[in-house]
Amino acid sequence: MIEDSVYVVCPLCGADDYRLRFPATVSPGEEKKIEYYRCTSHHLGRHEDIVQCNRCGMVYNNPQPDPEALLNVYKEVEDPLYREESRARERTFKRSLDQLQRFIKPPGRLLDVGCYTGVFMKVAAAEGWEVEGVELSSWAANIARKTGFEKVYEKPLEQLALPGESFDVITLWDVIEHLSHPAEMLRNVYCLLKPGGVVAFSTHMVDSWAVRFLGTRYPFFMDMHVVHFSRKTTKRMLAQEGYELLKIKSHHRILRTGYFLEKLHHKVRIRPARSVVNWLSRRKWLADRFIGIGLLGLVNIFARKAKSREHRA
């Protein structure tokens, strides 16, 4: 549970000059329960005030959870539902890996930051990558190890004594939006990547049509998502940290239909509609099918490390 929040400056340019972009959907001082920080959280669209920097245009939550308290919450998170949905996650990660391998192919060393239970590591290892992971949740890290991946580190990346320029690829799937200091993360990644190495991450785009249409109720505006990138701010952050942007690709999630309907059930407010969704979710012939979900402003971003520090913007 997180009780304390702090006001922050822009995570991209450091300015303390902003305007309100999306008003909070939670009450001031409302407690944030640990369940809000599960990967499979149903608490979509609940967030503090979301502001936009008047200097660089970066969008971020202000206030944000206290960083130390947030770190402790992530260490304690358990998420059994995620394990139940592993087959769908594998399909999603296979699509993302296929996109990644257009820019760099195995064999090579791959570090998955925020590896959770090791689903992407499993997919990447099957393609010939030598994989390691970083995961704060002790519950998830232990599952990843039991899956067969011994090198799963339970510390923030900046606290690990990993050798510099030792990885060909570093991935951060659904991670960067959780970070109060995303540029600092990319700086640490830069140091660990070999020259010409590739960083890949997924996130939501705040300049997408879905955000324009849904506004403050956009589902990926959540307690645990504290920064929100546009294409402009993504390009700026990558350039200033020494990366060449390779591609921004639309990201489609593969979900089990029953899981999707369960999520929908938590959001539908009209009672007859909730009853229909609930009825559909109980039809096994439908619930166990897979569907692709797109058009929600989700993207995969791929960038290459400059061959030398002199290329940094």
Quick: pLDDT tens for 122-181. 999 999 999 999 999 999 999 999 999 999 999 999 999 999 999 999 999 999 999 999
Q: Which of 46-50, 103-107, 208-212, 275-279 has the lowest mean pLDDT?
A: 275-279
Q: Report whether 163 contacts 69 (CB < 8 A).
A: no
Is the pLDDT at 38 greater than 70? The verdict is yes
Q: Which residue has the tokens 């569907």?
A: 291
pLDDT, greater one: 146 or 28: 146
Return the pLDDT at 269.
54
Is the pLDDT at 25 greater than 80? The verdict is yes
What does R_g of the chain's alpha carbons equal in angstroms? 19
Task: Let me know if residue 73 belongs to a domain.
Answer: no
Q: What is the mean pLDDT of the chain?
A: 89
pLDDT, greater one: 308 or 74: 74
Task: Let me know if residue 191 belongs to a domain.
Answer: no
pLDDT, greater one: 232 or 43: 232
Task: Let me know if residue 217 belongs to a domain.
Answer: no
Is the pLDDT at 267 greater than 70? The verdict is no
Return the pLDDT at 311.
44
Quote the CA–CA distance of 12 and 53 in Å, as a whole number.
Answer: 9
Q: Over pLDDT 70: what percentage of the chain?
A: 86
Write out the H or E segment, with its range, that includes residue 210. Answer: helix 209-214
Return the pLDDT at 271.
55
Is the pLDDT at 51 greater than 90? The verdict is yes
Task: Let me know if residue 265 belongs to a domain.
Answer: yes
Quote the CA–CA distance of 16 and 281 in Å, as a whole number.
Answer: 46
pTM for the predicted model, two decimal places: 0.90
How many CB atoms are located within 10 Å of the residue 72 CB? 14
Residue range(s) defining the domain that contains residue 285: 256-290
Task: Let me know if residue 99 belongs to a domain.
Answer: no
Return the pLDDT at 179.
97
Return the pLDDT at 232.
98
Is the pLDDT at 278 greater than 90? The verdict is no
Quick: pLDDT tens for 218-229. 999 999 999 999
Count of structural domains, the chain:
1
Q: Among 270, 37, 26, which residue's Cα sits nearest to residue 139?
A: 37
Is the pLDDT at 265 greater than 90? The verdict is no
Return the pLDDT at 287.
60
Task: Let me know if residue 79 belongs to a domain.
Answer: no
pLDDT, greater one: 231 or 262: 231
Task: Let me know if residue 263 belongs to a domain.
Answer: yes
The beta strands (E) that lie in the chain are given as 5-6, 18-22, 50-53, 59-61, 64-65, 108-113, 129-134, 152-153, 167-172, 193-204, 227-228, 243-250, 253-256, 290-293, 298-305
Give the angle subtended at the CA of 7 by the CAs of 136 and 297, to the nearest 5°.
Answer: 65
Return the pLDDT at 310.
46
Task: Let me know if residue 155 belongs to a domain.
Answer: no
Is the pLDDT at 3 greater than 70? The verdict is no
Quote the CA–CA distance of 58 and 232 in Å, as a whole number.
Answer: 9
Is the pLDDT at 251 greater than 50? The verdict is yes
Return the pLDDT at 257.
72
